[in-house]
Amino acid sequence: MCMIVFAYKAHPGYQLVLAANRDEDYDRPTEPAHFWKDHPQMLAGKDIRWGGTWLGITRHGKMAAVTNFRDMSSHLEHGLSRGLMLCDYLQGTRKPEAFLKKLEGVKAPYNSYNLLLGDLQNLCYSSNHGPDPEQISSGIYGLSNHLLDTPWPKLVRCKSLFSEILAREEEPSADSLLEMLADRKTAPDDQLPDTGIGLEWERLLSSIFIAGESYGTRSSTVLLIGDDNRVTLTERSFRFPGDKGKTLRVEFTFRP
């Protein structure tokens, strides 16, 4: 994932309202969200190249999502896929805090990341570029390619649009949130961050939805978790520039 906005215990009737875009090369082989054959309790998309995922949830109430932390100076040529951390958590038995504590000793092999891990009790955030892992309190948050709530223009815009939707809709609409995730407005040059990738790429990556020639938004996901433990995941996936997208919807109830 490269953009996540979420409301945690901040909207009537919902434990979590989350909307996210995954940005990736168009030629990177990917499977859309599904219950994995070898892990039938886990609903997630799959990165076929490395076997990991970018966002997933289980029937037992565990949830995980990741974005990369954009810092070319710390890039590891042979770093492990960040998506493997999500699989380890979702397929294991550790609670978020315990998993992150264990990860502290082994996170060096991974390229820079931001990680959200949750269960029915807590939601936690961690980054290998930030301070110690923290528990998320109720509120509305945004996560792009820097630390939690870093006010990059695309994140400020997305959080504003997200907050407007939540304020006007008693029942958050997947259609409204997917429309938000499709926003292609770019930021002025003087507001762009400098992360070592050059001005042309900073411009391209400054919109919520990215549409480059070889790289862009590959999927938009809306995840709703009700106070009644009812889960609805809506995903729109894209295979190439200009693709209108294929949408799927999965519903189930947690079985703690």
Which strand (E) or helix (H) includes residue 5? strand 3-11
**C-alpha of 19 from chain center:** 8
Q: Taking CA 237 as the corner, what is the angle to CA 231 and CA 57, rounded to the nearest 5 degrees?
A: 30
Parallel, antiparallel, or unpaired: how do β-strands 123-127 and 134-135 relate? antiparallel
C-alpha span between 154 and 206 (Å, rounded): 6
Average pLDDT over residues 140-164: 97
Residues in the chain: 256
Average pLDDT over residues 97-114: 84
Cβ-proximal residues to 214 (8 Å cutoff; 6+ apart), any chain: 25, 26, 27
Task: Give me the pLDDT at residue 74, please.
Answer: 65
Which strand (E) or helix (H) includes residue 154? helix 153-168
Query: What domains does the chain contain, in order, with CATH numbers?
Result: 3-253 (3.60.60.10)
Confidence tier at 71 by pLDDT (50, 70, 90): confident
Task: Give me the pLDDT at residue 105, please.
Answer: 72
Q: Tell me how far CA of residue 26 lies from CA of 30, 99, 154, 166, 213, in angstroms.
A: 9, 32, 21, 31, 9
- pLDDT over 80 at 108, yes or no: no
The answer to whether the CB of 6 falls within 8 A of the CB of 18 is yes
What is the SS3 assignment for 90?
A: helix
What tokens appear for 110 in the block? 């991974």
% pLDDT > 90, the chain: 87
Backbone angles phi and psi of 246, in degrees to 5: -115, 130
C-alpha span between 21 and 219 (Å, rounded): 6
Across 15-24, 65-74, 198-207, 209-218, least confident range: 65-74
